[in-house]
Amino acid sequence: MPKEINQPQLPPTSAIDSVTNVAFENWFEYPVRSQPHHTDYAGIVWHGTYLTWMEEARVECLRSIGIEFADLVALGCDLPVVELSIRYHQSVKLGMPVLVRTRMAEVTGVRMNWDYTLVSPDGQDLYITALVTLVALDREKGKIMRQLPPAFQDALAKISGSRKIR
């Protein structure tokens, strides 16, 4: 069987491949409301807006467990998106309130998988489901870190025991 060409791969490191089994059971909820600048001329939320809302929810979720993104940056750590899968179930329209629900699905070394659902406040309408994978990157070297910064590890250790973020 021929080897696939042009498939970008993360460099193999033990940090990326070791599973730590840290996961949130509960969803973190981040409320948003679609504004005119989020929509196209038909009043439908532009697809890229959902990504912004998901990132805002992820940053606030981390803040809720004691991880300030600005502190990670000051430590020389960045968390770029390396993989994204999104399914659009139905459109959000101008003025609609939405709950962006997120949780860390898995931490494997320095790789973090985040689950998302965007739903109506009553939970009756499903708009988006998504999976985002981040990896810890040394900002100065531009390379994947061998391990998460200690402050990040400590915060994850706290939640892995309680399994609660809210």
The owner of tokens 């739903």 is: 119
Alpha-carbon span 125 to 122, nearest angstrom: 8
Inter-residue contact 28 to 165 (CB < 8 Å): yes
How far apart CA 98 and CA 101 sit, in angstroms, is: 9
8 A C-beta contact, residue 61 and residue 28: yes
Exposure string over 130-154, b if 16+ CB within 10 A, otherwise e:
bebbbbbbeeeeeebbeebbeebee
Backbone angles phi, psi at 117, to 5 degrees: -135, 140
Where in the sequence numbering do the catalytic residues fall? 40
Q: Which residues contact residue 77 at a Cβ distance below 8 angstroms, ignoring those fewer than 6 apart?
A: 136, 137, 138, 139, 145, 148, 149, 152
